[in-house]
Amino acid sequence: MVRKKYFERIKLYYLNKIEEISKLPERDYKNYYDFVDLVNSFTNTFNNNSESTNYILNYALNSNKFEEYEKSNIMKHLIEVVKD
């Protein structure tokens, strides 16, 4: 009910938080964990589908599969997903 009533405010809050994390000059595991958690909290659309590309990319941020540059690109993509 709250989410429905204040959807735009909540969306802006989550966007600001994940954009702040994405702009950090150096990120650690906790930053990536927070980013993943915030994206999950806001977008429950792909969380239910573990085969979704966005689901896989979101959880890959906490792994060592990607370099920092690649993680930055993943974060930018996921920010766009949240915006839409």
pLDDT digits (tens, 9 = 90+) for 16-63: 999 999 999 999 999 999 998 888 887 766 656 667 788 788 888 888
Q: Tell if the pTM clears 0.75, that is, is over it.
A: yes
d(CA 72, CA 66): 10
The pLDDT assigned to 2 comes to 65
Supply the pLDDT for residue 47. 58
**Domains identified in the chain, total number:** 1
Taking residues 62-83, what's their average pLDDT? 89
Place of tokens 């702009």: 23
| pLDDT number for residue 64 | 85
CA distance 47 to 30: 20
CA pair distance 33, 39, nearest whole angstrom:
10
Residues of the domain holding 57: 2-83
The continuous run of DSSP H or E covering 83 comes out as helix 68-83
Read off φ and ψ for residue 37, nearest 5 degrees.
-65, -45
